Amino acid sequence: MKQNRFGTVSAEDAAAFDRDGVVCLRNVLTPDEIEHLRTAVRKQMDQLGVSATGYDFEALARQVWDTSKPVETGGANRFDMQAMKELVLSDADSRPLLEEGEASEDGLFFYDVAAWKRDTGLREVAFDSILPSIAAELLGANYVNFWEDTTFVKAPHTRQKTAFHQDLAYFQIEGEQCVIVWIPLDPANSENGTMQYVRGSHKWNETYAPNVFVSQTPIASSPEKRCPDIEAYPHKYDIVSFDVQPGDVIIHHVMTVHGAGGNPSDHWRRAVSFRYCGDKIRYRDRMGAIQQVGVTHKLRDGDRLFASDYPMVWPKPWPGLLLADLYQQPETMTGSGD
Ligand SMILES: O=C(O)CCC(=O)C(=O)O
């Protein structure tokens, strides 16, 4: 892997990423950039209950384990959550993945996607910050496409953990030249559910089926094998986590197995996650992958990600060009407006 081509990543950090499959970079985003992301997340959260794509996984998990009630997701219709409940309950190895302690109604594990399509501020960070060139550097890529953004918010007193998983099989891609940038919008540490990564797992040479996040239950249509039960045997794995502040980012390789605790603390843990693909990635309509919302491309298996759904964010055609402005998109079905 090429290192240090553009001076955005130190040789030590690039080496850590290659070796561990994860690296934490300090102070790479500005306070203004963090504020843009907080604003985008606030707008998504304001639409919870109305938007087609925003879910509360904490509430959902309660409904999954309560066999007396059906699942209720308000306006969110991206996934068939009743079918997901039946899948989890039929899985002999599934169990609630909750932090110890009293049940709390305050908990919220908010999940949403694709804010870039309607939020200029988030787009500026995803396309025009230093992140695309960091991704290019870590991936040794000749160009970089933006795949998607995802929002993960854990309110104070959220018991739901994020089940350990590997990202590749969630995406319709072939190849491993892809990184995920996890961006905390609040201080995050072991008290409020910072991310946990299995060091070196990107080199296990295994592809794992996507799971349903509130349980390790694999998505039924995926042909891949189940992710190991990291939660049950954490001592068997080399798990690394980082205490982070807004401005820091944690970047993991698409094959790195990762998860997160709940947030039993009194402090929010808001985060967004950006996914970047290098030039070796090809499109693949992978069985079991999560269908993206609002995509319009007609890519076929083996195609490069040359479509307006996957903006090329690095290199820029000329310095100073604001890609965020180029990719103004019409309103899509994905929820709140700007
Ligand atoms: O923030 C979380 O709890 C999960 C994040 C994650 O899995 C990701 O960014 O790929």
Q: In this structure, is residue 2 part of a structural domain? A: no
Count of structural domains within the chain = 1
d(CA 260, ligand 1 centre) in Å: 7
For 38-51, the pLDDT digits (tens) are 999 999 999 999 99
Pocket mutation for ligand 1, best pick of 150, 171, 211 (most atoms within 8 Å of C-beta): 150
Query: By percentage, how much of the chain surpasses pLDDT 70?
Result: 95
**Helix and strand counts by DSSP (H, E) for the chain:** 7, 14
Pocket mutation for ligand 1, best pick of 109, 110, 149, 152 (most atoms within 8 Å of C-beta): 152
Q: In this structure, is residue 330 part of a structural domain? A: no
Q: In this structure, is residue 239 part of a structural domain? A: yes
Residue 189 — pLDDT band, cuts 50, 70, 90?
A: very high
On the question of pLDDT at 68 being above 80, the answer is yes
Q: In this structure, is residue 101 part of a structural domain? A: yes
Does 315 sit behind a cis peptide bond, omega within 30 degrees of 0 on the bond before it?
yes
Give the structural domain span for 36. 11-320
* CB 64, CB 88: distance < 8 Å: yes
On the question of pLDDT at 179 being above 90, the answer is yes
d(CA 153, ligand 1 centre) in Å: 9
Q: How far is Cα 334 from Cα 292, in angstroms, rounded to an integer?
A: 10
* CB 231, CB 159: distance < 8 Å: no
Q: In this structure, is residue 209 part of a structural domain? A: yes
**DSSP assignment letter at 141:** -
d(CA 322, ligand 1 centre) in Å: 28
Give the three-state DSSP class for 148: strand
- Torsion (CA) 285, 286, 291, 294 in degrees, nearest 10: -20
On the question of pLDDT at 2 being above 50, the answer is no
Rounded to the nearest 5 degrees, what angle is found at the Cα of 337, between the Cα atoms of 332 and 213? 70
Q: What is the amino acid identity at position 199?
A: R
CATH number of the domain where residue 143 is located: 2.60.120.620
Q: In this structure, is residue 335 part of a structural domain? A: no
Return phi, psi of residue 22, to 5°: -160, 145
| pLDDT on residue 4 | 61
Residue 335 — pLDDT band, cuts 50, 70, 90?
A: very low
Q: In this structure, is residue 329 part of a structural domain? A: no
For 296-307, the pLDDT digits (tens) are 999 999 999 999
Tell which wins on pLDDT, 274 or 3.
274
What DSSP string runs through 240-257? Answer: EE--B-BTBEEEEETT--
Tell which wins on pLDDT, 214 or 166.
166
Q: Could you tell me if residue 89 is left (phi over 0), alpha (psi between -120 and 50 degrees) or otherwise beta?
A: alpha
Residue 247 — pLDDT band, cuts 50, 70, 90?
A: very high
On the question of pLDDT at 116 being above 50, the answer is yes
In the numeric block, which tokens belong to residue 291? 């269908």
Q: Which residues contact 186 (CB under 8 A, 6 or more apart)?
A: 192, 246, 267, 268, 269, 270
| pLDDT on residue 330 | 58
Query: By percentage, how much of the chain surpasses pLDDT 90?
Result: 87
Q: In this structure, is residue 334 part of a structural domain? A: no
